[in-house]
Amino acid sequence: MKDLQALREKLSSLDVELLEMVARRQEIVAEIGRVKSSAGRGTRDYAREKDVLNLARQTARRVGVDEDIGEEMFRLLIRASLAAQELDKVTSERTGSGKRALVVGGAGQMGQWFVRFLDAQGYSIELCDPKPAASGHPRFATLDDTDLAHDLIVLATPIRESVSLLEQLTSRKPTGVVFDISSLKGPLAGSLQNLVTAGCLVTSIHPMFGPDTELLSGRNVVFVDLGVPEATATVRELFSSTMAEQVSMSLDGHDHAMAYVLGLSHAVNIAFFNALSQSGEEAEELAKLSSSTFDAQMDVASRVAEENPYLYFEIQSLNTHSPRALVTLLNAVTQVAGRVLDGDEKGFVELMAQGKAFLARRPEDRP
C-alpha cells in the first residue's frame, strides 16, 4: 500500500505540472492574440490549428498515447485559447467606454450573457428586471423607473413580454439604439414597426446560442434589418471583435427557418423523451443497454428537457410556420412506421438514402 500511495502522490504532482504548463501556454496565447490584434489579423487561423492537431497526433503516436486522445486534448486547448483571445480582444477595444446600456430582462440567463458581454466592452450597465440579479449592477423594476437615456437598450425578455415593452418604448421614444433578441420575429413585427415609425433607432437580432456560450467561433448571430441601417450597423459592431458569423435575414424568412432549426428539432427531442417516458421502460435499465446512437440522442434530449418549457411553447405556438414543420414531422414518423409495419425493406432503405443525400449537402465546416 505504501507503493500505491507513493505512485498516487507522484501522479498528483504530475497533474499539477500539467495544469501549470497549460497556464504558461495560455500566457503565450494571450501574447499571440495581442500581436494578431495589433496587426489587424483575425483571431482564428485554421491552417495553424491543423498544424497543431497534426503535431498532437504525431507526438501521441511517438510517445505511445492514443492519437485520438492527443487530438482531443489539443482541440480543448485550442478552444480555450480562442475563447481567451476573443475575450481579450473584446475587452481591449473598449467600444462601449463612456456609454450606457440598459438590459431589459437582465436577470434572466440570456440577459446576464449580454450584461457580461457589454460589460467587457466597457459599457456602464443597468438592468431593468423585477427580479434581482447576481451581477450587482444598478437595477430598476420597470421601464417607468428609468430615464431611458441609454446608448443601447437590449430586450432580453420572453416573446409576449417583448411586445408590451416595445409598445412602452414607442410611447417614450428613446434616442439610443434599441434591439430585441427574440427567438421569433413575427409576433413582434407590428411593435417593431411602430418604433420605426416613431423615428427610433431600432433593429432586431437572434443570437443562435445559449447563455453558457463563451466562445462565439462557429456561432451565428442573425440580423433582421428593419429599415434603420444605422441601428443595425451599431449592433453589428458589438460583435465585430468576436468570431461570430453575422447572418442577414428578412423578418418572415427568419421565422420560416426557425420553424425547422428550432421548432422541428425541439419537437423531435420532446417526442423522443416522452415516447420513452410513456413506454413503460425504466430509464435505469435502458442506460445499461445503451448504444452510441441512443447515448447521443439522450444527451441532446436531456439538454432540451432542462430548457424553459414556457419559452419552448412560445417558439412552437407563436410561429405561423410551425404547423407545416410539425405536420412534416408527423408525416415522416408515419412513413417510417408504415415501412416497418408493412415489412417494406425497399421503402425503408429509400427513406434512409433520401436522408443521407440531404445531409451530405451540409457544408463541411459546420459541426
Do 272 and 200 belong to one domain? no
Please tell me the predicted confidence (pLDDT) of residue 91. Answer: 78
Phi, psi of 328 (to 5 degrees): -60, -40
**Contact in structure between 89 and 240 (CB atoms under 8 Å):** no
Q: Is 346 part of any domain?
A: yes
Q: Is 365 part of any domain?
A: no
Do 219 and 262 belong to one domain? no
Q: Is 292 part of any domain?
A: yes
Q: How far apart are the first and last CA of the chain?
A: 47
Do 308 and 223 belong to one domain? no
Q: Which of 231, 249, 267 is the last residue of a domain?
A: 249
pLDDT at 325 over 70: yes
pLDDT at 344 over 80: yes
* Confidence category of residue 366, pLDDT binned at 50, 70, 90: low
Do 115 and 51 belong to one domain? no
Do 41 and 158 belong to one domain? no
Tell me: the pLDDT tens digits for 205-221?
999 999 989 888 889 99
**Cβ neighbours of residue 254 closer than 8 Å, sequence gap 6 or more:** 184, 185, 206, 222, 224
**CATH number of the domain that residue 137 is part of:** 3.40.50.720
Do 135 and 195 belong to one domain? yes
pLDDT over 70 percentage in the chain: 97
**CATH number of the domain that residue 62 is part of:** 1.20.59.10
Q: Which of 37, 56, 91 is the last residue of a domain?
A: 91
Do 107 and 235 belong to one domain? yes
Closest to 156 measured CA to CA, from 132, 191, 180, 126: 180
Q: Please write down the long-range contacts of 35-44, taking CB distance under 8 Å and 24 or more positions apart.
A: 36/85, 37/88, 37/89, 37/92, 42/243, 43/82, 43/85, 43/86, 43/89, 43/217, 43/243, 44/82, 44/217, 44/243
pLDDT at 326 over 60: yes
Please tell me the predicted confidence (pLDDT) of residue 190. Answer: 97
Please tell me the predicted confidence (pLDDT) of residue 258. Answer: 97
Q: Is 366 part of any domain?
A: no
**CATH number of the domain that residue 291 is part of:** 1.10.3660.10
Please tell me the predicted confidence (pLDDT) of residue 49. Answer: 83
Query: How many domains is the chain partitioned into structurally?
Result: 3
Tell me: the pLDDT tens digits for 141-173?
999 999 999 999 999 999 999 999 999 999 999
Please tell me the predicted confidence (pLDDT) of residue 96. Answer: 86
Do 103 and 233 belong to one domain? yes
Distance CA 178, CA 18 (A): 47
Do 50 and 70 belong to one domain? yes
Least confident of 42-51, 182-191, 278-287: 42-51
Coil vs helix vs strand at 99: coil
> Taking residues 174-188, what's their average pLDDT?
97
**Contact in structure between 250 and 225 (CB atoms under 8 Å):** no
Do 272 and 243 belong to one domain? no
Do 243 and 259 belong to one domain? no
Please tell me the predicted confidence (pLDDT) of residue 46. Answer: 66
Evaluate if pTM is beyond 0.75. yes
Structural domain range at position 124 = 94-249
pLDDT at 317 over 90: yes
Q: Which of 226, 249, 272 is the last residue of a domain?
A: 249
**Cβ neighbours of residue 131 closer than 8 Å, sequence gap 6 or more:** 107
Please tell me the predicted confidence (pLDDT) of residue 41. Answer: 74
Helix axis angle, 67-93 to 46-63, nearest 10°? 150
**Contact in structure between 180 and 162 (CB atoms under 8 Å):** yes
- As given in the structure block, the three cell numbers for residue 306 are 432542462
Tell me: the pLDDT tens digits for 33-69?
888 777 777 677 767 888 888 999 999 999 999 999 9
**Cβ neighbours of residue 143 closer than 8 Å, sequence gap 6 or more:** 104, 128, 165, 168, 169, 172
Q: Is 172 part of any domain?
A: yes
Do 220 and 275 belong to one domain? no
**Cβ neighbours of residue 65 closer than 8 Å, sequence gap 6 or more:** none
Q: Is 66 part of any domain?
A: yes
